[in-house]
Amino acid sequence: MRVLIATCEVDYAGRLSAHLPMAKRLVMVKSDGSVSIHSDGGAYKPLNWMGAPCSIEVENRDPDDDLAQVWTVTNRGSDTLRIAIAEVEADQTYDLGVDPGLEKDGVEKHLQELLAAHPQSLRDDLSLVQREYYTAIGPVDLLCRAKTGQYVAVEVKRRGEIDGVEQLTRYLELMRRDPLLSTVEGIFAAQLIKPQARTLAKDRGIDCVTVDYDHLRGIEPDDDRLF
Amino acid sequence: MRVLIATCEVDYAGRLSAHLPMAKRLVMVKSDGSVSIHSDGGAYKPLNWMGAPCSIEVENRDPDDDLAQVWTVTNRGSDTLRIAIAEVEADQTYDLGVDPGLEKDGVEKHLQELLAAHPQSLRDDLSLVQREYYTAIGPVDLLCRAKTGQYVAVEVKRRGEIDGVEQLTRYLELMRRDPLLSTVEGIFAAQLIKPQARTLAKDRGIDCVTVDYDHLRGIEPDDDRLF
DNA sequence: GTGTCCATTTCGAGG
DNA sequence: CCTCGAAGTGGACAC
């Protein structure tokens, strides 16, 4: 990885056009060729960038020139990033090796697994029919069945917002065209459900259930005998 | 801005849990206190980060210890980022000043402005009633009216996908409850419309129009006399 | 502050 | 390869 601190002006032309006036910034060049230009503020997102794969062409200018170097970064498409460097304050290259990678825990998939193992925590008369039940327009997170035989489709979200309700509505609409599932009900399950989503769900006849991730994770298989 | 190259192990606990094994990485500390940890690959997104506002507490360890320093970064919520540093290869601080900022051209807002100025390019009998017409659930990009008096709601996207059709559908459903707008029609306008979105729009009785940004931008005010 | 929507979103999974 | 959905999404803007 190469890290420059340089006074530069940047122009991007591609999916949109963008311009950065001359100022001192950090330029990061990764070993895959990707380039990102960071300022000393804002979030982690760079001001400008070019993702890999791309190629960098460097043009050196005369010492008398206002510009020391001009980089032209292009990718396979028609995107172009032009970095005009007036002055370089630092230029270091480091060998970081390959990163062993990030391990995550607590995302939607995990929540879905826990609910698939304990559908009673959604409603005590439910049992699992299938996880990732495939419809023509996408997979329903959980398909369950009540003791009465009634089918129930469950959409699982980490945070319950309007989009999730729309998604479940589409699934329900499609599933109900199948005679076997003509009366399928919907449950919208999330760790936190926003009021707007709750309102829309109610309007659509969909039940909302908030789930406690930590509590679910604490349920040991042995605890099932309590039912 | 402070830039470290350090062999470190990182743990994040907050909206999820995440762990990074010991490896050499770049640690960027911005003057607002935000921290991001980058590897030498992937896109611009860091492996882990903590956005401002946050505070950093540094604990120095014994020289004999396996760890040189342990940073604990916390924000106002309950998020915690723990950076355990075994070895520091580089540690530089630079004064970058405040960035003059990015100027963009070609995003959805511009497309919306151009279409507001030339609604005939969507359908030749349309004139603009209002841009950003506010409904209770969000703003409709363009509200237009045909020569017959018929109202037309337009949703503008850079790329037309299913979400955009859902969005316009929600607006239409709500607007039609208003007697004045009870027959409002919908137009889905984008530079590129994906087949699934086109199919869904057709099913909902919504017209699709693909628009050419460069061509629209080329229409001079004088050209209007051609109508 | 909350709510909604855009983004050069990035990222990953699945067909 | 594309398509779709999730993200610690982040960021802007209106209410």
For A102, the closest chain B residue by CA position comes to: B20
Cα(B201)–Cα(B164) distance, integer angstroms: 9
**In the predicted model, what is the mean pLDDT of residues A168-178?**
89
Cα(A105)–Cα(B128) distance, integer angstroms: 50
To probe the interface with A, which of B10, B44, B50 has the most A CB atoms within 10 Å?
Answer: B44
User: Is A165's pLDDT higher than 80?
Assistant: yes
Taking the C1' atom of every nucleotide in all shown strands and the CA of A108, the nearest one is D6
Which residues of chain A lie closer than 8 angstroms to B165, CB-CB?
A: none
- The whole-chain average pLDDT of chain B stands at 92
Quote the strand ranges of B76-180, DSSP E.
80-93, 103-105, 126-135, 138-146, 151-160
Location of structure tokens 């009634």: A150
**Rounded to a whole number, what is the distance in Å from the CA of B227 to chain A's nearest CA?**
30
User: Is A161's pLDDT higher than 50?
Assistant: yes
pLDDT band at A226 (very low <50, low <70, confident <90, very high): very low
Contact B49 A44 (CB under 8 A): yes
Contact A47 B102 (CB under 8 A): yes
B17 DSSP β-pair partners: A105, B13
Tell the burial category of B220 from Cβ atoms under 10 Å away from its Cβ (0-12, 13-18, 19+): exposed
Q: Output b/e per residue, B125-145; b: 16+ Cβ within 10 A.
A: ebebeebebebeeeebbbbbb
* Per-residue pLDDT at A107: 84
**Beta strands at A185-193 and A207-210: parallel, antiparallel or unpaired:** parallel
* Per-residue pLDDT at A93: 98
* Per-residue pLDDT at A91: 98
End-to-end CA distance of chain B: 56
Pairs of CB atoms within 8 A across A/B: 153
**Rounded to a whole number, what is the distance in Å from the CA of B148 to chain A's nearest CA?**
33
Domains of chain A: 2-93 (2.70.180.20), 108-226 (3.40.1350.10)
List bases, strand D, within 7 Å of protein CB: 3-11, 14-15
* Per-residue pLDDT at B177: 92
Taking the C1' atom of every nucleotide in all shown strands and the CA of A44, the nearest one is D10
Residues with Cβ within 8 Å of A223's Cβ and at least 6 positions away in sequence, in order, are none
User: Is A223's pLDDT higher than 80?
Assistant: no
Higher per-residue pLDDT: B194 or A67: A67
Cα(A124)–Cα(A82) distance, integer angstroms: 61
**Rounded to a whole number, what is the distance in Å from the CA of A127 to chain B's nearest CA?**
28
* Per-residue pLDDT at A220: 55
Cα(A78)–Cα(A15) distance, integer angstroms: 9
Tens-digit pLDDT profile for residues B17-58: 999 999 999 999 999 999 999 999 999 999 999 999 999 999
Which residues of chain A lie closer than 8 angstroms to B21, CB-CB?
A: 100
Cα(A46)–Cα(B108) distance, integer angstroms: 20
